[in-house]
């Protein structure tokens, strides 16, 4: 009797990576040489941001996606930091807002008047050394001049800030972690420190990752422990000591089902991957050893396909694995290999991909002097929309406001369909109330949200209203009748879109049947 090896079936087994043509790369960029294990690159459907070398301070480039080819040395940068930039992260709910953490030791509160105009300088606060995450508003068409004035500076860390992570579902909520071993949660719209998580980490924090609904986050620490933390209670919910035995940096990310995926090193300096069940952290569900390279492994996770991509700093490859419910849980799919090692890596959100080409992931690989997009594709013959590859995905709309999250609400991301060409809702400017931030030296932790009324028409300060800051909602119509008309029109449009979607689905099904030979 002969036995034939059974190959596990997966729609992602044949995923292949392909770099774009040379003219579609971003060339002549001096990528940062700072020794910090961050990605150095952040991407969204509008811009690619890259941390670069800068004399006398820290800076990062922000390029519109279409701005490919050679980047002029005089191209403007975001350069308000006085020390090297260590981490950057785009706001998931506004493609024009980015946060950055740095080594600098200055206090700056400046105002950015959005839309491509100039900058206005507010009076400085008392100069107290502090290391502060900064939040920036990028003009719609990119930078035409250097951007030195952040929208807001978040003051609270006593050492350099190496980790920045926006809340996935609550507007305006930002996590920062510093070399002071403290995690701070902010309301960016008010510059308010919501939670200070001090004493939970005895050593340097290597990484922090929010759960899909933002109720918790997990961290990887230099003490070799992985912790699951409830920020609103300020408690460690679960902890795994010595998740990886090696002394080199490790990272931990939350998966969609609440499990945790980690990368690290064994006692013998072998690079490892592991999958953990937060309900029982005694032993990993799955553990794999990769190789003996010394570069930190950066994991990127796609919750729609349950595929994890692992990129090693200094490697020239991207490995990808499918996470399933069946043992061994972590299934190796394939490896994309190129000639040049990567200094860092950016990851495009799903809504920025080309669904017509069955693109399921896009990386922005940093070389020493350029950024090279790499496209991951599932080979398919049909030109129809591939429902199985593109379930509804997280859109750009926040599920709740910061105040709701603080009050105890938890919500998953607002999902959107990729069936139609996705057009994000109109981006709303980030506004911060300078008057409150600077009033009689009041610390930022008590700042109020900005009002949208122009200065000339503003009511007395005591009567200022406080709508959400990170993308402020338009003022409600004064006449109830007009509001009712608008609501009726919206309802009618929704119904029409729904009908058209159903009709398109029926036509696609008929076409599919014809292609398969059915009458």
Please write the tens of the pLDDT for every residue from 29-47: 999 998 888 999 999 999 9
pLDDT > 90 in the chain, percent: 64
Q: Which range is least confidently modeled, 74-88, 119-133, 282-296?
A: 119-133
pLDDT, one tens digit per residue, over 246-261 is: 999 999 999 999 999 9
Is the confidence at residue 457, as pLDDT, over 60?
A: no
**pLDDT at residue number 1:** 44
Which residues are CB-neighbours of 491 under 8 A, at least 6 positions away?
A: none
Selection from 352, 356, 370, 374 nearest residue 68 by Cα: 370
Angle at 205 between CA 201 and CA 208, to 5 degrees: 105
Range in 177-181, 356-360, 463-467 with the lowest mean pLDDT: 463-467
Residue 361 has pLDDT above 70, yes or no: yes
104 has a pLDDT exceeding 90: no
Region 137-158 average pLDDT: 91
The phi and psi torsions of 432 (rounded to 5 degrees) equal -125, 140
Average the pLDDT over 115-130 and give the result: 36
pLDDT band of residue 245 (cuts 50, 70, 90) is very high
The residue that leads in pLDDT, 518 or 51, is 51
Which of 16-20, 101-105, 187-191, 457-461 is predicted least confidently? 457-461
**Pick from 18, 152, 48: which is nearest to 436 by CA?**
152
Q: Which of 263, 269, 242 is nearest to 251 (CA)?
A: 263
Q: Provide long-range contacts, Cβ within 8 A and 24+ apart, for 262-270.
A: 262/220, 262/226, 263/296, 263/297, 263/298, 263/299, 263/310, 264/220, 264/297, 268/292, 269/294, 270/246
Please check the confidence at residue 358 and state whether its pLDDT lies above 60.
yes
* Dist. CA 106–CA 155, nearest whole Å: 10
Question: Which of 105-109, 222-226, 245-249 is predicted with the least confidence, judged by mean pLDDT?
Answer: 105-109
Q: What is the pLDDT of residues 410-451, one digit of tens each?
A: 999 999 999 885 445 566 666 665 444 434 444 444 333 433
Between 163 and 132, name the one with better pLDDT: 163
State the pLDDT at residue 426: 62
Which pLDDT does position 36 carry in this prediction? 87
Q: Model confidence over 307-342: pLDDT tens digits?
A: 999 999 999 999 999 999 999 999 999 999 999 999
Q: Among 252, 222, 98, 261, which Cα is nearest to 166's? A: 98
Tell me, what's the pLDDT at 514?
Answer: 79
The SS3 call for residue 236 is strand
Phi, psi of 373, rounded to the nearest 5 degrees: -65, 140
Using CA atoms, how far apart are residues 489 and 493, in angstroms rounded to an integer? 6
**In this predicted structure, what is the pLDDT of residue 377?**
96
Per-residue pLDDT, 120: 34
Domain boundaries, the chain: 21-199+345-351+360-373+392-452+466-473, 483-519
- What pLDDT is recorded for position 323? 97
pLDDT for residue 371 is more than 60: yes
Is 70 exceeded by the pLDDT of residue 128?
no
Contact partners, residue 115, CB within 8 Å, separation at least 6: 139, 140, 429
pTM above 0.85, yes or no: no
> Which pLDDT value is given to residue 277?
97
Strand partners, 89: 99
296, 308 Cβ separation under 8 angstroms: no
Task: Report pLDDT for 218.
Answer: 98
Residues 419 and 442: beta-carbon distance below 8 Å: no
Q: How much is the pLDDT for 429?
A: 66
Report the pLDDT averaged over residues 185-200: 94
CATH class of 21-199+345-351+360-373+392-452+466-473: mainly beta
What value does the mean pLDDT of the chain take?
Answer: 84
């Amino acid at each position: 009797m002969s036995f034939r090896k059974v190959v596990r079936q997966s729609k992602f087994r044949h995923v292949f990576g392909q770099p774009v043509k040379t003219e579609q790369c971003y060339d002549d960029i001096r990528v940062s040489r700072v020794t910090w294990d961050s990605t150095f690159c952040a991407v969204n459907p509008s811009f690619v941001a890259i941390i670069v070398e800068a004399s006398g301070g820290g800076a990062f480039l922000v390029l519109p996606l279409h701005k490919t080819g050679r980047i002029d040395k005089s191209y403007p940068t975001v350069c308000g930091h006085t020390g090297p930039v260590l981490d950057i992260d785009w706001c998931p709910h506004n493609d024009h807002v980015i946060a950055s953490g740095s080594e600098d030791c200055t206090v700056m509160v400046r105002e950015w008047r959005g839309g491509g105009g100039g900058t206005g300088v507010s009076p400085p606060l008392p100069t107290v050394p502090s290391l502060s995450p900064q939040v920036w508003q990028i003009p719609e068409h990119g930078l035409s001049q250097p951007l030195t004035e952040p929208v807001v500076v978040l003051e609270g860390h006593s050492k350099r800030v190496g980790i920045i992570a926006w809340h996935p579902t609550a507007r305006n909520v930002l996590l920062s972690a510093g070399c002071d071993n403290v995690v701070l949660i902010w309301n960016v719209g008010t510059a308010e420190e919501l939670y200070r998580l001090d004493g939970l980490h005895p050593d340097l924090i290597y990484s922090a990752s929010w759960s899909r609904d933002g109720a918790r986050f997990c961290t990887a620490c230099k003490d070799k422990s992985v912790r699951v933390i409830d920020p609103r209670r300020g408690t460690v919910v679960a902890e795994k000591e010595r998740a990886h035995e090696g002394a080199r940096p490790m990272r931990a990310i939350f998966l969609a089902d609440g499990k945790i995926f980690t990368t690290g090193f064994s006692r013998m300096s072998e690079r490892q991957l592991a999958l953990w069940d937060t309900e029982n952290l005694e032993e990993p569900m799955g553990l794999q050893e990769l190789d003996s390279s010394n570069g930190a492994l950066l994991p990127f996770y796609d919750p729609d396909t349950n595929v994890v991509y692992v990129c090693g700093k200094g490697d020239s490859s991207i490995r990808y694995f499918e996470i399933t419910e069946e043992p061994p849980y972590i299934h190796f799919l394939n490896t994309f290999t190129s000639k040049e090692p990567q200094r860092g890596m950016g990851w495009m959100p799903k809504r920025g991909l080309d669904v017509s080409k069955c693109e399921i992931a896009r990386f922005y690989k940093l070389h020493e002097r350029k950024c090279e997009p790499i496209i991951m594709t599932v080979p398919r013959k049909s030109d129809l929309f591939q429902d199985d590859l593109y379930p509804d995905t997280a859109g750009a709309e926040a599920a709740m406001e910061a105040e709701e999250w603080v009050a105890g609400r938890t919500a998953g991301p607002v999902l959107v369909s990729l069936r139609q060409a996705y057009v994000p809702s109109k981006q709303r400017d980030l506004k911060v109330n300078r008057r409150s931030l600077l009033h009689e030296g009041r610390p930022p932790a008590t700042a109020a949200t900005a009002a949208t009324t122009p200065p000339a028409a503003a009511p007395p300060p005591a009567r200022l209203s406080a709508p959400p800051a990170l993308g402020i909602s338009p003022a409600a119509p004064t006449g109830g009748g007009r509001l009712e008309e608008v609501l009726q029109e919206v309802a009618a449009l929704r119904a029409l879109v729904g009908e058209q979607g159903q009709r398109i689905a029926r036509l696609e099904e008929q076409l599919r049947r014809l292609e398969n030979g059915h009458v």
